[in-house]
Structure 1
Amino acid sequence: MGRIEEIGDPGVRALSFGAGRRVFSMLLVRHGGTVHAFLDACPHAFLPLTWRGGSVLSADGQRLVCSNHFAEFDAADGHPVSGPADCGLDALPVRLEPDGAIVMG
C-alpha cells in the first residue's frame, strides 16, 4: 500500500484497486507517526470524497472535506464534523510496520 514517508505530514493519499464497477477506493491519512484509512465514499451521497479532484484535506490537516457537498469529517476517526452527512466515514484496518510500510489488517 505504500510507506509512511510517501504521504505528506499531515497528508492524504488516495488509492484505487480494480477498475470500472469493481473499483475499490480508499484514503490513507497521515498525522505525524500515525496512519488512518477510510473508504473514499461520502456517506451523504456515496460519492468519492475525491470526486471533483483536488485536496480533500483541510488547510489545518484536521478534517477530510467531501469535494461534492463539502461535508467535513475528523481526519483521525472519520466522525462527521459539519455539512450534510450525519454519519461518519467507514474506517478500514491498516497498521504501520516498524520499517514504515503501511499494510491492511
Structure 2
Amino acid sequence: MAASNDHIRQTIARYVAFMNAGDADAIAELYAEDATLEDPIGTKPTKGREGIRAFYIAAAGAVKLELTGNPRVAAGEAAFPMLARVEPDRSIEIIDIMVFDDDGMISSMRAFWSADAS
C-alpha cells in the first residue's frame, strides 16, 4: 500500500526543515536504504542512503529552502515548487519530484533546476 498523502506532506515539511537546519543525518533518514537522488536533473544519480547523506552534508545549511506552493500528492508521489536561496542575493526556482515506497520512505528524488536558472 502506498504511503498516505498526509505522511508524504509531513515528510516534505520535515525535509525542508532539516535542509534549513543543515541536518544531513536527519535528511538521509527520510530516504530508503536503496534510494536514488538526482539533483539537479541530468546529473549522475546518487545511489543509496550513505551516498545521499554525503550529498546533503555538502548541501544542507548552505541552501535555504522555501515552499512556494502546495505539494501535489498522488499515488505515492509528490511534486512541489520551492525557492532555494543559495546566496543572500541569489535564488533558484526548483521543482522537486519525490517517489515514496510502501514504508513511507523516499525512494527517489529528482530536482528540476539548472545552474543558469534564476
Select the structure that is richer in helix. Answer: 2
Q: TM-score range by the shorter chain?
A: 0.3 to 0.5
TM-score, normalised by the number of residues in structure 1: 0.33
| Structure of higher RCO (CA pairs closer than 8 Å, 6+ residues apart) | 2
TM-score, normalised by the number of residues in structure 2: 0.30
